Structure 1
């Protein structure tokens, strides 16, 4: 029988989620076309002033799908340590990105898509953030609602 860790309190869950957002490089990003066709891809990101900043080719389904609804889901971690973010995505052209954001992306991830016409940035503003490890953390997993931290 596997012993599970005790459930974390909300403050610890929030801190662990923020640590992942600062330290992780990659996330799974889900969008859907206007017809409802889902697309799930891994993308590198930087946590940039309370938003996720990612980059992809402008013709990839992830970027194209931002136009119909702007809704996106992002997950960090594995199945036994999940951070699930639901939010609104917007396309940001490299020329419109602040130097601070572009420099942060390039420094963290080791490449810079600014000035590459085939690439765009996606900025995802979280509306909800949930975090849990095991079944014992399902209750109270919601840490953010309406873009406001509950903790």
Structure 2
């Protein structure tokens, strides 16, 4: 029988979540418009200025859904090491992203969708963050509420 690792305190889970936001490259984005089926896609991201910044084509279901309904979920990690982020998203034209965010995106991900008319940026502002690894961390998994860190 495999034993679970000991539960991390909230401060350690926050540090671990922030490290993932800085170093991970991909996340799952779940969106829905209310008009069609929900959409779940992986997108690359950069964590910049307390938000996740991603890019996709403006005609893709994720961009269309987020234009209609800004509320969404973003997930990082594996099943047994989860960072689940309830967010409000903004769709930004490819030539309207602030320069510092665009440079951070290019530096981390190695490509530049700025100025490409078919592309848009998605900026996700976290409202709630849940972090857990095993059952022993479920009770205290909410680390952010209403956009404010609780720890």
Same fold (TM over 0.5): yes
**For this pair of structures, how many residues does the alignment match?**
151
Q: TM-score, normalised by structure 2?
A: 0.98
Q: Cα RMSD (Å) of the superposition?
A: 0.8
Superposition deviation, residue 35 in structure 1: 2.3
Q: Does 1:137 align with 2:137?
A: yes
Q: In the alignment, which residue of structure 2 is the partner of 1:46?
A: 46
Q: In structure 1, what is the Cα distance between the partners aligned to 2:4 and 2:135?
A: 10
Superposition deviation, residue 56 in structure 1: 0.3
Superposition deviation, residue 108 in structure 1: 0.2
Q: In structure 2, what is the Cα distance between the partners aligned to 1:17 and 1:141?
A: 11
Q: In structure 1, what is the Cα distance between the partners aligned to 2:47 and 2:74?
A: 12
Q: In structure 1, what is the Cα distance between the partners aligned to 2:141 and 2:105?
A: 29
Q: Where do 4+ consecutive residues of structure 1 move more than 6 Å? A: none
Name the SS for the 1:7 alignment partner. coil
Q: In the alignment, which residue of structure 2 is the partner of 1:58?
A: 58
Q: In structure 1, what is the Cα distance between the partners aligned to 2:8 and 2:67?
A: 37
Q: In structure 1, what is the Cα distance between the partners aligned to 2:57 and 2:69?
A: 19
Q: TM-score, normalised by structure 1?
A: 0.98
Q: Does 1:87 align with 2:70?
A: no
Q: In the alignment, which residue of structure 2 is the partner of 1:13?
A: 13
Structure 2: runs of 5+ lacking an equivalent = none
Q: In the alignment, which residue of structure 2 is the partner of 1:147?
A: 147
Q: Deviations over 1:66-87 (max 9, x none)?
A: 1222011000000000000001
Name the SS for the 1:64 alignment partner. helix
Name the SS for the 1:96 alignment partner. coil
